Amino acid sequence: MTDFKELIANEIYDEALGLEIEEIKSMIERPADEAMGDYAFPCFRLAKALRKAPQQIAEDIAEAAYKSDIFEKVENVNAYVNFFIDRAVFAGDVVREISDKGSQYGRSDLGKDKMVLVEYSSPNIAKPFHIGHIRSTVIGNALYKLYDACGYDTLRINYLGDYGTQFGKMIVAYRKWGCEEELANEPIKALLGYYTRFHKEAEKDPSLEDEARETVARLERGAEEETELWKKFRELSLSEFNRVYAMLGIEFDSYKGESFYSDKMPRFLQELKDKGLLIESQGAQIVDLEDCGLGAAMITKSDGSSLYVTRDIAAAVYRKETYDFYKSIYVVASQQNLHFRQWKKVLELMGYEWEKDCIHVPFGLVSLSDGDDIKTMSTREGKVVFLEDVLNTAVSKTADIMREKKVEGVDIDEVSREVGIGAVIFQELSNNRIKDYVFSWDKVLNFDGETGPYVQYTHARASSVLRNADEADISAISGSGLSSGSIPNSASDSDSGSQAGFGANIDFSYLKGDSAYTLAKLLYRVPEVVVEAAEKYEPSMLTRHLVDIAQAFNKFYHDEHILVDDEKERRTKLALVAAARTVIANCLGLLGISAPERM
């Protein structure tokens, strides 16, 4: 696709300016006010070299650049040169590129031959997969997809919480109050019940805590009975988790949890000792980080058992030695900020220079609309909102809305699943990840607001327009001979797509109207938004841009008559509709959301 900033930079370039083309390109801005042009170049920096007033320099550049065919006009306003791209040229370039690339539009090879690891979700075994887990899960999945779209080799890691004292408590509780049939029927709810009961009983009988510590010590030594129970809890939990992941359309490449690194920690305990970093404090082993303002990083407890920092050191070194990553991204709540700062500092003190490539991506809390903060949810008290229940409720509520609206001609069960679950994911990703937010059903399932259902409905509307077009029109804009009854079911189905330039079938001067041009400009920006969202670890940047595209498409749909009598006008507008449809489907896919054909 044409790099219009580069074209403008080439137009501006003159040896007398004392700037290279790339420097000029970096100075070119995109005005917030469209009335000031598509691009603007400030001339302040040139005043010293040229010994002219910035306004005079802007006048000279505007006069010289206006001779180019790519501009409708070039004008200076004070010290700025404002460039207005020829709308037909611009729209034609965008539509051709999207038609040619299909499902690959928005992707790049920026990260070729570089490995990025993304660790996300990471629930605790034998504990509920609750609504609080959704942020790490969907933000992490979106970051994986964004980095994949940028051409990186990506690895999805689910760092399961399958190690620690809670398993001693769970095993003790199961032995005392467990029921095999109950465990088989509803594993997580049963285990939650045992865990909750353990803490209630331990308040009356503190010896249970000692029994749990002895049990986990036997587990760590590999005792057969404890190990078998641990494996059972782990397998049952994974089976339950995977059912939720399947609902979300999420998969992982690695499920190596904390337990995988248990036999690797002695190496690093010895290394910390050899490098003089370990200090004894009340029987525990710590690394003193007071000079860095980070307190003390506890490495082992007084009983010798390991802690999160120790296991995370072992995991990080294993991943670096195994994958030689370019980046290792950890999508973990902001409450763990201190832990990650301590852990990275310890890695630095140990001499691992690549610790700078370990990136903690924090996120804020989600609370329920009735005021229950997810943070206050306690597995000890059994106060939990299961994520699976939230997703099922979203599907059910969506189906109710569709029946109320008397939607016909669709599989309500299938579409309500795509829209309901997509709505929950979109809600999570539409918020700046670091901000706390309130989960509200009214906002999540709104078909008219800046929501997932609104964007999905826009995709369905574009699909409907294409279905209503003639077979000859579809063939003309796709080059694939599709009939009006076989409009592609996804962007990837149309990849065989375009005849370069569309021949005489298209006249892009029909896309010079404000609504068409605004839509074309938003479609043009998608590849750079994908890169920016990945580099800033902020999926909401793509989500917000996608809402802008949906709003622009709907304005174009209302402002313009698309299926008009004039063949060239009709086919040109249909080509823009097809391009918008492709991009919306691609962007939804990068967020982990389906793009229904009918709603």
User: Residue 104: which residues within 8 A CB-CB, separation 6 or more?
Assistant: 495
* Inter-residue contact 27 to 45 (CB < 8 Å): yes
- Residue 403 tokens read as 């029946």
For residues 270 and 206, what is the distance between their CA atoms, to the nearest angstrom?
34
Given the residues 5, 25, 101, 133, select the one marked as catalytic: 133
Nearest Cα to 200, choosing from 374, 371, 383?
383
User: Residue 290: which residues within 8 A CB-CB, separation 6 or more?
Assistant: 296
| Residue 373: DSSP 8-state | B
Backbone φ and ψ for 370, nearest 5 degrees, come out as -85, 5
For residues 33 and 55, what is the distance between their CA atoms, to the nearest angstrom?
20
Given the residues 101, 130, 145, 545, select the one marked as catalytic: 130
Q: Which helix (H) or strand (E) holds 281?
A: strand 279-281
Edge-to-edge order in the sheet of strand 71-77: 39-42, 80-85, 71-77
Nearest Cα to 140, choosing from 594, 592, 595, 593?
592
* Inter-residue contact 316 to 330 (CB < 8 Å): no
| Residue 16: DSSP 8-state | G
For residues 562 and 572, what is the distance between their CA atoms, to the nearest angstrom?
9
For residues 325 and 459, what is the distance between their CA atoms, to the nearest angstrom?
37
For residues 479 and 506, what is the distance between their CA atoms, to the nearest angstrom?
12
* Inter-residue contact 577 to 562 (CB < 8 Å): yes
Given the residues 5, 25, 101, 127, select the one marked as catalytic: 127
For residues 197 and 210, what is the distance between their CA atoms, to the nearest angstrom?
16
* Inter-residue contact 422 to 453 (CB < 8 Å): yes
Q: Which helix (H) or strand (E) holds 461?
A: helix 452-467
Whether 133 is a known active-site residue: answer yes
* Inter-residue contact 582 to 530 (CB < 8 Å): no
Sequence length of the chain is: 599
Whether 127 is a known active-site residue: answer yes
Collapsed DSSP state (helix, strand, coil) of residue 71: strand
Nearest Cα to 252, choosing from 321, 344, 335, 158?
158
* Inter-residue contact 70 to 53 (CB < 8 Å): no
Which residues are identified as catalytic?
A: 127, 130, 133
